[in-house]
Amino acid sequence: MTSSKESLSKSDSRPVIAISGKGGTGKTVISTIIIKHLKKKDVKILAIDADPATSLPPALGVNIRKTIGDVREKLVLGPGRTPAPDLPVDLMLEYQIRDILAEIPKISILAIGRPEGPGCYCLVNDILRHSIEKFSSLYDVTIIDCEAGLEHLSRRTTRSVNTMIIVTDATQRGINTARLIKELAESLEINFDRICVILNRATQEQAKTFFESASKYGIDLAGIVPEDENITEYDLNGKPLIDLPDDSPAVIAVGEILGKLEILV
């Protein structure tokens, strides 16, 4: 396991960063602002929305035509009823994933979506794992906006991740979620290079109290993102969060966190 001070840009593997946490803490907001900062660099970004709610594409100003859920529907049709039916399964899957990638300058977007037909999510999760492992090596950095809760860990869809960032609020429930994510990752032997917490919509005083409790569980607090009226206004008016002003408080705070974590490639 590498030191938290070691720059991801110096790693032999391409950085894969997952943003996790309980629902309503602002995972998609933080994911979008991270992508906003990375977009300023000369890098190719793969943005994966691993939450069936599919909130990341609108935050990036993108309309998604198809999702992994749609790919799953094609696969369950069986041989002979999918494009290029004579291809091996791996190649056919890669072909279909490339077909559903949404592209904007410097960013490719992949969404898990929801399958339309009956059946469990197992196949969708298998496709997501394959996509992360196959396509992340083609990009300079991959950002994954995870499903709320612990499902992405229990289904092991984040086993190829370098860094897990847990977004939480300044509550005991937030601390408990961060602790559970950390403990579950360790029990599943998912060897992230590091796991850290971003305290969202919080004050310095709340952060102090949070840190005193979180430190008991070995939770590393990466930084604090303050309440930001610009985010409220953008959400209210349906404006893409990636267009937030550079001097917006949350944008500045996330930039400082990325610098501290040496994630800026």
Beta bridge partners of 197: 166, 221
Query: In this predicted model, what pLDDT tens digit does every residue of 22-73 receive, in sequence order?
Result: 888 999 999 999 999 999 998 999 999 998 889 999 999 999 988 888 887 7
| Nearest residue to 95 via CA among 103, 109, 85 | 85
Q: Residues in the chain, how many?
A: 265
pLDDT of residue 4: 35
Please tell me the pTM assigned to this model.
Answer: 0.85
* Domains, the chain, with CATH or none: 8-261 (3.40.50.300)
The DSSP secondary-structure symbol of 43 reads -
pLDDT of residue 10: 38
CA angle in degrees (0–180, nearest 5) for 186-262-56: 70
Higher pLDDT, 163 or 191: 163
Q: Which residues contact 46 (CB under 8 A, 6 or more apart)?
A: 107, 108, 110, 135, 136, 138, 139, 141, 142, 143
Per-residue pLDDT, 88: 63
Helix axes 27-39, 249-261, angle to 10 degrees: 70
Residue 150: the pLDDT is 65
Q: Report the half-sphere exposure of 148 (CA within 13 A, side-chain side).
A: 13
What pLDDT was estimated at residue 265? 44
Q: Return the SS3 of 229.
A: helix
Where residue 3 falls among pLDDT bands split at 50, 70, 90? very low
Whole-angstrom distance, CA of residue 34 vs CA of residue 152: 20
The torsion angles phi and psi of 97, rounded to 5 degrees, stand at -65, -45
Cα(197)–Cα(164) distance, rounded to whole angstroms?
Answer: 8
Beta-bridge mates of residue 198: 167, 223
The pLDDT confidence band at residue 184, using thresholds 50, 70 and 90, is confident
What pLDDT is recorded for position 12? 47
Least confident of 7-21, 50-64, 77-91, 151-165: 77-91
Per-residue pLDDT tens for 70-114? Answer: 887 776 655 555 555 565 667 777 888 888 899 999 999 999 887
CA-based R_g, the chain, Å: 18
Closest residue by Cα to residue 132 from 163, 147, 110, 153:
110
For CA atoms 201, 204, 206, 207, give the dihedral sign.
positive
